[in-house]
Structure 1
Amino acid sequence: MKIWRIAIYMLILLAGISGLFIPVQQAESSGEGELVYVIPVEKEVERGLQAFLERSIRTAEEEGASHIIFEVDTPGGFVDAAGGIASLIRNAEPDTTAFIVERALSAGAYISLNADQIVMAPGSNMGSATVVDGGGSAADDKAQSAWLANMREAAELNDRDPVYALAMADRSIEIPELDITDDNILTLTPGQALEVGYAEEVLSTREEVLSFIGYEDAEIREMEVTFSEQVARFVTNPIIVPILLSIGSLGLVLELYSPGFGIPGIMGASALILFFFGHLVAGFAGLETVILLGVGIVLLLIEVFSPSFGVLGFIGIGAIMGSLVLSSYDTSMMLMSMFIAIIVTVVASVLFFKYVGYNGPLKRVVLVDQAGNDQGYVSADTKSELKDQTGTALTILRPSGVAEIGDERLDVVSEGGYIEQGRKVKVVSVSGSRIVVREVKD
């Protein structure tokens, strides 16, 4: 019954969120003639943003847009996602404008440089594009060299002086006219960007940008991030992925060792559903990954309730791990996330079993009861009446042998030492068939 409840819960939750897959676009105003799409580039640069921009640019191209305005406000993000977004912008069929409404830092500066032209709002800034690793330290020379090459290429794409792009990423480059000396990173204000040719104009509003590019009478359509895409952007973040996998695996493991269908199972199932939902929306996973996951779960359940000496269990675990890897955009990142999840699950499970115990469905297939003398379990009836009686050793006791106690010949064991045949012995303890005797000194 418990398994059926889990399956029903997952189906209901999936049905409830399935409607969120439908992308939405809104028309801000309408008119005859040209069509301009406005696409926001907001928050952190990651794979979820890349998936949203890919959908948005494809929609603009299919609708025959003449121009795309990217409204940029981002503190930066991940280099691999920035590279994918830059490629989308460079290869877009319509002309493109990056309108920096507040900040285009780090990866945001690189993305903006790939647009055909750049317009900045008063008070905005662009630059500070150094590369750091996951720990916040400067990246190694190889990564830094590749990033500098990307910044140079993006600047030269529209005939901009690459020295300023390089100064955004390399502290060693000095630009005295902008007061950039050794150990400083270049961040351009709108006036500075206009002066060095990194911005075509400084404008305050979208309407002014439309007038500047010659589309003030065009129909404007604004792409918006749907709720499902917001969820996808969150759950595909490389920091969130190992957390979700840890919650999912730990929750399902603890559910197997707890009665009823409770909080661990709900948390575990929800975490895994969110993981696959986000990766499906982002376009990283397909239906085949969900099918592979389902096959893995079914095989594990069969192994639990109809053991096959571990064969089906290992295949099921392999199928689940394969579905996770196939749904990822970065295999190495996913393997690391899975490793973290396994470590967290093992450690937390050991602590849980040690201090809480378990009382779930696996108790039906795992023997946990113990039968010992302290619980009153013995292998034969205890002849407690023999205690303190005396008799004679009929054989040498070293330490076991035969003694006559009363009118019975009994198998006995000495308390610890060697006892000669014919010596007088006394029963000191009886437990089931075990009779312990001690030699009686004259």
Structure 2
Amino acid sequence: MPMHHIPGIPSARQGCLAMLLGMAVLALLPDTALGEREQGEWLVVRTPITSETVTRLKNATNRAIESRGAKKIVYQFQFAGLSEAGPCQDLANFLLRDIKGRAETYAYVDKPLMGHAVLPALACNYLWLGPDGAIGQAASKQPDEQADRALQLKYLEVAEARGKFPALVFKMLYPELVVYQIDAPDGRKFKLDRDQAARLGIDARHALAPEEVNQDPRPVLREQEAGLYRPSDPRTKSFGLWGRVVSSPQQVVELLDLPGSLVQGNPLVNLDQPPRAARIVIKNEITRGMVESLRRQIKRAVDVDKVNCIIFEINAWGGPGSVRIADDLAKELVDLREKGVLTIAYIPATARGAATYIAFGCSRIIMGPRAELGDCQMLLYERGNRAVPERDVMVFRESLKNLAERQGYSPVLAEGLLSPGMEIVKVQAKPDPNQPGRLATAFLEKAQAEKEARKWDIVGTVKAKDRPLAFDTEKALEYGIAWDKVDPPSIDNVAKLEGIDPKNVAGARTGFLDEVAAFLAHPVTTVFLVIVFFTCLILELKAPGVGVPGVIAAISIVLVIWANSWLSGELNSLAILLVLLGLVLLGVELFILPGFGVCGISGILLLLLGLSLVVVQRWPQTPGEYLDLGKNASIFAAGLLVSLFAAFILARYLPNVPYANRLILQPPDDETSAAGAPLPPAQSPALLGAVGVVVTTLRPAGKARFGDEFIDVVAEGAYVEAGSRVQVVEIDGVRVVVKPV
């Protein structure tokens, strides 16, 4: 039975041809279409443009093209004053001639741009404006500067090279010109008044020809009307001076399919002198003390050393308890942009857990060839492999997403770092001429990509379900997380990548107090000081008075509290109150309610808790932090036991050591008191074993009556009420010890 082709359904031959055609199209696509995003650069050009600015812009552009392979360079022009013609001509020449076909150049003007700075903006391959942007009014208002013939020719060269109407460009330079629009069969034209053009030496080609006068030209820009063109002016839609009106820098990078982090720009470009940088090392576990030390180093580098760039060499990690402090520091790093400071996260090896927040807070991330960033599995589990509560993980996730979005990174990728069950895919937008602003590539949850299959094509898997997500160097570059990589990895190479002379990179200075506090807050030093504190406290209580042991005990506890408070940046009032309350309770137990009861035990526990809080620096919020608190309390309890042994040894042997025996108060001798007054006679040994009645309550000292004689006695251990019967159990000189019977 013969097969007939059914209309509307392709035949096998047509299907094969379509498949072959599709394969051919894919083969012709550039490598970046489905793979790594193109590299780009975003440079902020602030006016007035000077010769130094032009030199730095040239260097930054050439570095981006040659070192990083950037194919798209965006110059964001920001007007802050009129620029001289010379530097602007130099920059325009560079954009027109030197770059050639090595990269595409884009000028983005989101606010009005005036003066001769419009010349390099027009010299870019593409000119895009923001809704509030404007360009023109190039004529200088300075009386000693006029547009000479060479400058006029430069404006003409730029206009013709970039396909702009010379008449409209000349109007920027000469506000007295009248510009006419001619709607001819061969297209719209803009021409100048013939007499005005001749008077200013403008080529007659750009003025109305005799035959054009009869084509009903109409003036669109009148005499003395400023040549300042705005998207809000409906007349400018037909002028063809700019290509797009783009709402924000973020949309610019989206349209160009560049990493969102580019929009931060490079503040080093607009400096009047060579940039200076500070190097700050972040290594090992991130703690509150470390972050406070980093804050002081940053403040000193920016406010005292006046650096323009800070390079953070990160080889660190941090668990759930470090997220909040790392996130706070990251937000402060973001705010440094407002001070014109470029922050670079240099990762030679690894930045894991809470260290990811600090890296994301920097303006740029530069990695070593085999580095890794973003392994956040440790943020999902406490010590002891206990899962962090989901509500806490949600807070971690939201903080990282907000930080990533603020820095121009994909929030979906940031969320994936803390979402094991999430599936992430890389998608490419399907062509849609009605929505030119859509991302060429993006990262989406797989479910969302499948739901929006009409809009997106899935081109790759970034994260499979129940698999952790982290970025090695190549993936970080591909996903727009890393700015660049250095190989071989070194601080000097990072500095050179940003155009900084390695000689101008200095290690951030730490203050003397920082170093002292860091030494005293070291766990070994802290435990030693606590042992000294307990030992001297026991010695002082054994020999009452204000002696050397009491002074040493006070100094030791003050050093522990000060060092940890200095590093944490805040005074832990609760810890100090607990320590003081513990000392008060011990005093009550020893001098008011003798024995070893509730006050004594409570005092010791409060001392241990207070000292532990000093070290952990805040009241625990998570099971892991409670575990840390308990661990420190156990260590200090062990230190107390060592102190008891040390106090026993010292009390036994120190009085017999020459010179050293002066460190503690000695009991008075048998002859005289310390003031020289005669001492009462020693009690007779015959009193030993005698039974008497307590006359005054023993607390523990008081009076007791033995027969007709009243004698000062000391109770052995417990509190003894008046009227109780007691027996003498020890006689030591004038000291008579009794116990209840």
TM-score (norm 1): 0.58
Distance apart, 1:112 and its partner CA: 0.2
Distance apart, 1:104 and its partner CA: 0.6
Question: Which residue of the partner structure matches residue 150 of structure 1?
Answer: 399
Which residue identity is paired with 2:415?
Answer: L
Matched, 1:330 2:656: no
Which residue identity is paired with 1:50?
Answer: V
Residue among 288, 309, 313 paired with 1:71: 313
Matched, 1:42 2:291: no
Residue among 501, 506, 519 paired with 1:216: 501
CA distance in 2, matches of 1:267, 1:124: 49
> Deviation string for 1:163-194 (max 9, x for gaps)?
22222222112236456322221111000000
Question: Which residue of the partner structure matches residue 96 of structure 1?
Answer: 343
CA distance in 2, matches of 1:118, 1:309: 64
Matched, 1:278 2:563: yes
Counterparts of 1:27-426 in structure 2, within 5 Å, are 33-63=274-304, 64-77=306-319, 78-92=322-336, 93=339, 94-130=341-377, 131=379, 132-175=381-424, 177=460, 180-203=463-486, 204-216=489-501, 219-223=504-508, 229=514, 232=517, 247=531, 251=535, 254-255=538-539, 272=557, 274-282=559-567, 284=569, 307=591, 329-332=617-620, 337=629, 341=633, 345=637, 377=689, 379=691
> Deviation string for 1:295-329 (max 9, x for gaps)?
88997898689x4679xx999x9999989979974
State which structure, 1 or 2, has the greater radius of gyration over its C-alpha atoms: 2
Structure 2 vs 1, CA of residues 128 and 324 (structure 1 numbering), >3 Å: closer, same or farther? closer
Distance apart, 1:145 and its partner CA: 0.3
Which residue identity is paired with 2:334?
Answer: R
2:280·2:310 contact (CA, 8 Å) conserved in 1? yes
Which residue identity is paired with 1:79?
Answer: V
> Deviation string for 1:24-74 (max 9, x for gaps)?
xxxxxxxx7322111111111111111111111101221322111111110
Count the aligned residue pairs.
338
CA distance in 2, matches of 1:235, 1:178: 50
CA distance in 2, matches of 1:376, 1:284: 61
User: Secondary structure of the residue that 2:348 maps to in structure 1?
Assistant: strand
Structure 2 vs 1, CA of residues 357 and 223 (structure 1 numbering), >3 Å: closer, same or farther? closer
Distance apart, 1:210 and its partner CA: 1.5
Which residue identity is paired with 1:222?
Answer: G
User: Secondary structure of the residue that 2:311 maps to in structure 1?
Assistant: strand
* Percent of paired sites with the same residue: 20
Which residue identity is paired with 1:330?
Answer: R
Which structure has more relative contact order (CA 8 Å, sep 6+)? It is: 1
2:297·2:510 contact (CA, 8 Å) conserved in 1? no
Distance apart, 1:344 and its partner CA: 6.7
CA distance in 2, matches of 1:55, 1:99: 20
Which residue identity is paired with 2:465?
Answer: D
Question: Which residue of the partner structure matches residue 404 of structure 1?
Answer: none
- Which one is further off, 204-213 or 35-44? 204-213
1:152·1:166 contact (CA, 8 Å) conserved in 2? yes
1:276·1:285 contact (CA, 8 Å) conserved in 2? no
> Deviation string for 1:382-434 (max 9, x for gaps)?
xxxxxxxxxxxxxxxxxxxxxxxxxxxxxxxxxxxxxxxxxxxxxxxxxxxxx
1:48·1:236 contact (CA, 8 Å) conserved in 2? no
CA distance in 2, matches of 1:347, 1:66: 48
TM-score (norm 2): 0.37
1:285·1:328 contact (CA, 8 Å) conserved in 2? no
2:317·2:351 contact (CA, 8 Å) conserved in 1? yes
CA distance in 2, matches of 1:173, 1:297: 50
User: Secondary structure of the residue that 1:43 maps to in structure 2?
Assistant: strand
Which residue identity is paired with 1:56?
Answer: Q
**RMSD of aligned alpha carbons:** 5.6
User: Secondary structure of the residue that 2:386 maps to in structure 1?
Assistant: coil
Question: Which residue of the partner structure matches residue 421 of structure 1?
Answer: none
